[in-house]
Chains A and B, each alone.
Chain A
Amino acid sequence: MQRADCRIRKILHIDMNAFFASVEQRANPSLRGKAMAVIGSLHRGVILSPSYEARAFGVKTGMTYGEAMRACPGLLLVPADPSKYSHTCEELLGIWKDFTPLVELFSIDEAFLDVTGCERLIGDPVQIAVRIKERIWREKGLTCSIGIAPNKLLAKLGSDMQKPDGLVLISPEDVADVLEDLSVKEICGIGPSLTQRLAAMGIRTCGELGRTTARTLTAQFGIVGERLRDMGLGIDHDPVVPMARQREEESKSIGHSMTLTEDCADIEMLERHVLQLSEKVGRRLRRGSYHGDTVCLTLRYADFKTFTRQRRLRHAVNHGLDIYAAIRDLLRDIRLAQTIRLVGVSVSGLTRNVEQIPLFGEERKRTFVAEAMDDINDRYGEFTITWGTLMDRYRHERVISPAWRPEGDRQY
């Protein structure tokens, strides 16, 4: 019996409540208790994180400025300050690692902790969760919701069940009851389109999903069919992948995007944004010792319609200018139907630690110039030295990519 218990994993999912908004409310006491939201940029971008007071008025993440102000006319808006959130995330990571080395950062405000086997040392999972919540409150003044379950899927479900400041334990014997009448859309990984397709098959609850044969689901959804059935049964064998192992996983692509301060159709201005983004992508490629042979341009029209164009290059590159030249060609081939709201540049087809020593004079000079620029920017900060065309007009604020992690290639 004891051996069987040992095989049951104890996974915690920690979800920081209204993370960006809560951090801003801690940093500015005059915002506490008020309907406020963090927005990408003032009068632009979308709502990134509304406070719970704003949520009570119907303000939601992803709303545009206009939608949010209509829902809550007195809403206070604070522009995002990425350094505040990324540093707070690093401090939270430090707290979590005091309890277990098996911490997987799921996003900047969510993490999975595997505390299996920690009972004798620091208490059962509920006691651990309570202590984590106390420390986060005492040291950062923030609240979180924690789900405890035998796997990541159910732990995530648990943390979503009670917000804010929740603590939900889903023990193995409760799984069937919890899932029976639960809508499939509550499960992480089942989005609106999958929910619709399942509904068309008459499957609305996890109970119904779990009773559907893997064969039926596979016929409809292909290889994910079996995984879907497991989800309906609350089965998930995915391990908690700690940060060190996440770092070892090679990146598949490296990219940056920016929402423009105002919609733009001026090609010269768009090329300038592309140059800046290409420089940032080049910096990250060189930091990680990557080269990439496929460049991709992403554009979003004012009506949010988004499309991409990509090109495979003859040689793998990691210099901003090479990326820029290829992306600029892609941009010039496009006949814009509307003004542009967002521009993105990425490089894929990555290889690591494979570098051809430059043989020719011009090529060598370019490499030395890039190295010298990297050294200066490493020492004095990003874009301390850059191309003349980027100097006078603007300095785009840093944003946090969803792929951001406190360590490794995704740090920048």
Chain B
Amino acid sequence: MLLDLDEPISVGAVFSRGLVRPVWFSRGKRQFRNNEIAYTWKSREGNACIHHFSVTDGNGVYLLQFNTASLVWRIVNAEG
């Protein structure tokens, strides 16, 4: 069941060697640990580069986005 969310979230991420890797994110009072980054891709929104991450915590699949212009992380949807 796919749940559309599109809301800002807090993310713990590692930036290293030009790559970004979200390690955990929290939504409400719950924290999710990313077991696997299943796929990553990029797109543009005007001048901003949007990094997309399809991640899984073992129970569900979540689509996260990082906007390089606003430095805001969002969760787009969740499936689980």
Residues on A lying within 8 angstroms of B by beta carbon are 23, 26-30, 83-84, 86-88, 141, 377-382, 384
Q: 23 A–B contact pairs at CB < 8 A?
A: A23-B39, A27-B38, A27-B39, A28-B54, A28-B61, A29-B36, A29-B38, A29-B56, A29-B61, A83-B43, A83-B52, A84-B39, A84-B41, A84-B52, A87-B41, A87-B42, A88-B41, A141-B39, A378-B46, A379-B47, A380-B47, A382-B46, A384-B46
20 A-B pairs besides A141-B39, A379-B46 with CB distance below 8 A are A26-B38, A27-B54, A28-B38, A28-B61, A28-B79, A29-B36, A29-B56, A29-B61, A83-B41, A83-B52, A84-B52, A86-B43, A87-B41, A87-B43, A377-B46, A379-B47, A380-B45, A380-B47, A381-B45, A384-B46
Number of A-B contacts (CB under 8 A): 43
| A384 contact set on B, CB distance < 8 A | 46
Closest A residue, CB atoms, query B36: A29
Complex contacts, A83 vs chain B, CB 8 Å: 41-43, 52
> What total of chain B residues lie within 8 Å of the partner, measured CB to CB?
16
> Within 8 Å CB of A380, what residues of B?
45-47
CB of A136, distance to nearest CB on chain B (Å): 14
B39 proximity list for chain A (CB < 8 A): 23, 26-27, 84, 141
- A279 CB to nearest B CB, Å: 16
Q: Determine the main DSSP class of A at the interface with B.
A: helix
| CB of B29, distance to nearest CB on chain A (Å) | 25
Report how far A30 CA is from B46 CA in the complex, Å. Answer: 32
Cα A86 to Cα B43 in complex, Å, equals: 9
How far apart are the CA atoms of A327 and B45 in the complex, in Å? Answer: 29
In Å, the complex CA distance between A379 and B70 comes to 13
A88: chain B residues within 8 A (beta carbon): 41
Verify A30–B43 contact, CB threshold 8 A.
no
In the A-B complex, list the 4 residue pairs whose CB atoms are closest, starting with the nearest.
A83-B43, A27-B39, A87-B41, A381-B46
User: Chain A residues with Cβ under 8 A from B38's Cβ?
Assistant: 26-29
Interface residues of B in 27-80 (CB under 8 A from A): 36, 38-39, 41-48, 52, 54, 56, 61, 79
B-side residues, CB < 8 A to A, are: 36, 38-39, 41-48, 52, 54, 56, 61, 79
Q: CA–CA, A384 to B36, complex, Å?
A: 34
Tell me how far the C-beta of A180 lies from the nearest C-beta in chain B, rounded to whole angstroms. 44
Roughly how many angstroms separate A288 CA and B47 CA in the complex, as a whole number? 18
> In the complex, A88 Cα to B79 Cα: how many Å?
22
> In the bound complex, how far is the Cα of B44 from the Cα of A86, in angstroms?
11
User: How far is it, in angstroms, between the C-alpha of A86 and the C-alpha of B61 when the chains are bound?
Assistant: 22
Residue of B nearest to A141 (CB): B39
A residues in contact with B48, CB < 8 Å: 381
CB proximity of B37 to chain A, nearest CB, Å: 10
Q: Which chain B residue lies CB-closest to A384? A: B46
Residues of B close to A30: CB separation below 8 A? 61, 79
| Residue of B whose beta carbon sits closest to that of A83 | B43
Report how far A377 CA is from B48 CA in the complex, Å: 11
Contacts of A29 in B (CB 8 A): 36, 38, 56, 61
Complex Cα gap A201–B17 (Å): 63
CB-CB under 8 A from B41, the residues of chain A are 83-84, 87-88
Q: How far is the CA of A29 from the CA of B38 in the complex (A)?
A: 7
Please measure, in the bound complex, the distance between the C-alpha atom of A141 and the C-alpha atom of B43, giving whole angstroms: 20
Chain B residues with Cβ below 8 Å from A27 are: 38-39, 54
